[in-house]
Amino acid sequence: MSTIISQIRKILERQQYRLIGNHSCTKICHWTKKSLKEGRVCYKEKWYKGVKSHRCLQLSTSTLWCSHKCLWCWRLQSGDRQNLKWRDYPFNPAKIDDPKEILDGCIEARKLLLTGFKGFSKVDVKKWKEAIIPTNVAISLVGESLLYEKIDEFIQECHKRKLITFLVTNGTLPEKLNNLIKSAEPTQLYITLPAPDKRTYLKACRPLIKDGWKKLNESLELMKSFNCSKVIRLTLVKGLSLKDPEKYAKLILKAEPDFIEPKGFVHVGEAQKRLPRESMPSIEEVKKFAEKLSDFTGYKIKDEDKASRVVLLTKG
């Protein structure tokens, strides 16, 4: 596919995505809205230094491309809609955009999306003025952002502007991670650990590459070489990946993360067409799983966030 075709663009724009250039996008996070209108913040603001929900720029440098087609993913995947198909992988936009242009475009699009909140009676104008100037960037919205070949330059551009960066990856590009160690570590690195074993991985992630499980394990091994803050995130789906905490523990200990986030699947977006609502675990089920994970890893449960169905485990 040479560019983001008009039919897909219309769908994404109806879903409140804003497309930037040939392959990037941004969207206002649910918790940015909650922070502005209700004063409630996401768990990242509660747990991690420097994060402000109302000043978070959520984006992707790879809107339509990923090496996985995870059942739980909220993004629009090729084949989700009748007669709407493209090549999810490899990354093949019409042209590779400049990191500065992507960041400028995402900041401007986000500002426009937030314009209407200024007139909302429950929104403090001072807080809104803060919100339109982001201080942290979540490179995590859709797709696999490491597929963008200039991701290191993009992170460098963010840091030049004093922006905190959270990079989320599915771990299938260890060579890109290795390059980031040398050139542009994010402020915080997330690797999603989607399954306790290869069989579950193949069923849940439906990888578009042959050696995805092997590459994920290579990325886990690499993680401990990063000097930045490191997080392993587990996406837990009842009847699929919510099982075998001892197997997860062995994989996690290879990576030596600073934090572990067992998080319950949420039945939103396109995932509603692939998994039943009953696949969502309750916060109580996530907590029970986290307790077992704590026993097997030695990490301690520090906090939980009921709204996001997530638990935080730390080394100390």
Quick one: fold of 6-314? TIM Barrel (3.20.20)
Indicate if the pLDDT at residue 3 is higher than 80: no
pLDDT of residue 1: 44
d(CA 14, CA 100): 26
Is the CB of residue 167 less than 8 Å from the CB of residue 194?
no
d(CA 61, CA 180): 16
Mean per-residue pLDDT for 146-165? 98
- Listed in sequence order, the DSSP H helices in the chain are 6-14, 30-38, 43-47, 99-114, 125-131, 151-160, 174-183, 198-205, 212-223, 245-255, 283-297
Per-residue model confidence as pLDDT tens digits over 168-212: 999 999 999 999 999 999 999 999 999 999 999 999 999 999 999
Indicate if the pLDDT at residue 137 is higher than 60: yes
Is the CB of residue 41 less than 8 Å from the CB of residue 206?
no
Q: What percent of the chain has pLDDT over 90?
A: 95
The residue extents of the domains of the chain are 6-314
Per-residue model confidence as pLDDT tens digits over 36-88: 999 999 999 999 999 999 999 999 999 999 999 999 999 999 999 888 889 99
Q: Is the dihedral of CA 249, 310, 231, 211 positive or negative?
A: positive
